[in-house]
Structure formats: structure tokens, C-alpha cells
A and B are shown apart, each in its own frame.
Chain A
Amino acid sequence: EVVLTQSPGTLSLSPGERATLSCRASQSISSAYLAWYRHKPGQTPRLLIYSASTRATGIPDRFSGSGSGTDFTLTISRLEPEDFAMYYCQQYGNSPIFSFGPGTKVEIK
């Protein structure tokens, strides 16, 4: 069973700063099947990145994804007010077929 771990649990930053979020898998997963989501309170989760590094439709270029094997990273180059939210990584294809990481909260410092 693949277990996703995200770090840090909480990231305290100011608007305009750079955010670096980590997602680690308990075993190697295909980069094609690693995605990132932003979830703001009271709203629907939104797909940001799929295939580890491809931005979803309408996602600004301040969001970038990288990584392979067991280590993946989501970088937000300059935090906007709407970026203070929960972020989840998600894998597909291993057992269980889908799973999410526990999330990283990006909060205003």
C-alpha cells in the first residue's frame, strides 16, 4: 500500500513569499500519476498540477510542480492572498488505486 506523507504540516508565510511543499511516497510512484490540489475553506478542491509538473487549465504560472520516484514538490513562487489554504498531493494507480496525502496548511504569518 502506498502512503503519501506531506511536509511541513503547516507553513507560515507572508504574501509575496515563496512556498515549497513536499510530498513523499512510501514507494516509488509514476510521475504521470501525481497531482496537487488547493482547497480553500468552504470551497471545492481545485486541481493545480497533474503528472507531477503539468499545470491544470487556468492555473497561473506561479504554481510549479517537480519530482519523481518518491519525492515530489509543489512550489508557489509568490503567494497571493487566495493561496492561503490547504494543499493535498494525490496518487493514482497503486494500492489503494487513489490516495491523498494528509495535507499542508499554508497560513498567513
Chain B
Amino acid sequence: EVQLVESGGGLVQPGGSLRLFCAASGFKFSIYSMNWVRQAPGKGLEWVSYMTSDTRTIHYADSVRGRFTISRDNAKNSLFLQMNSLRAEDTAVYYCVVSVAGHFDYWGQGTLVTVSS
């Protein structure tokens, strides 16, 4: 069974940093592209970042480019999102998501990030 478990969310002040972590199991993590997708309170889904299995291709949404960094450790079946210079509008549930051929097949339960003073 595919499992994606996010952690690392919490309350942080504007301008602060946070590192999200996703532990993957139940599938061959090293061959799949991975993503972070978020949902702000009362809002829709927003794709945040993408990384291919070999880490050679990375994409970011314009709203986070230059502030967020995606990374992965295939040996440890782990995905990360380093978030710097956080803003109130970054407040959201962040999902770790497996993508296959451009669609999002498997989603974690999400971790809540709250940016507030």
C-alpha cells in the first residue's frame, strides 16, 4: 500500500523558515517524480513544486520560486521542502504527491503550515 506521511508543519512567524518532510513507503520511490501541492484555508488546490526521480528537473510555482527548495533522498525514500522567507499567504496544508505522466496519483494526508505573528 502506498503511504506518504508528511511532517514538519507548524506555526512560524513571517520571514521565518520551515522544512517539510515526506516519508514514502509501499512503492519504488526512486523511480517516481514527486511534488508538493498546497491548499490555503478556504481556497483551492495549488501546485507548489516538482522534482523528477533523478533530481535533474525541478519546477516551482511563481509564488514560491526563489524562496522554496525541493529535494529528495532516494536512499531514504524521502522528499523535502525547505521554505524560507515565509509569508502569511503561504499558510496552507501542504501535501506530498506522486505524479505519473502529469497527473497526481497518490497524496499524503498533509501537514499544516501557519505563518502568523
Contact = CB atoms under 8 A, between A and B. Distances in A.
Interface of A: 32-33, 35, 37, 39, 44-47, 50-51, 56, 86, 88, 90, 92-93, 96-103
A103 B61 contact: no
Nearest to A98: B47
B56 to A, nearest CB: 15
B45 A47 contact: no
Given A44-B110, A97-B59, A98-B35, A88 B44 contact: yes
23 contacts: A35-B102, A37-B104, A39-B45, A44-B95, A44-B109, A46-B107, A47-B104, A50-B102, A90-B45, A90-B104, A93-B102, A96-B59, A96-B62, A97-B59, A98-B35, A98-B47, A98-B50, A98-B59, A98-B99, A100-B46, A100-B47, A101-B44, A103-B44
A97 B109 contact: no
A33 B105 CA distance: 13
Contacts of B45: 37, 39, 45, 88, 90, 100, 103
B59 A45 contact: no
B28 interface: no
Nearest to B97: A45
Given A98-B47, A103-B44, A44 B61 contact: no
Shortest 7 CB-CB contacts between residues of A and residues of B: A92-B102, A35-B103, A98-B47, A50-B103, A44-B107, A33-B102, A100-B45
Nearest to A92: B102
Nearest to A35: B103
A77 B51 CA distance: 36
A33 B35 CA distance: 16
B108 A44 contact: yes
Interface in B67-117: 95, 99, 101-105, 107-110
B44 A32 contact: no
A97 B101 CA distance: 12
Contacts of B59: 96-98
B107 A96 contact: no
A32 B103 CA distance: 10
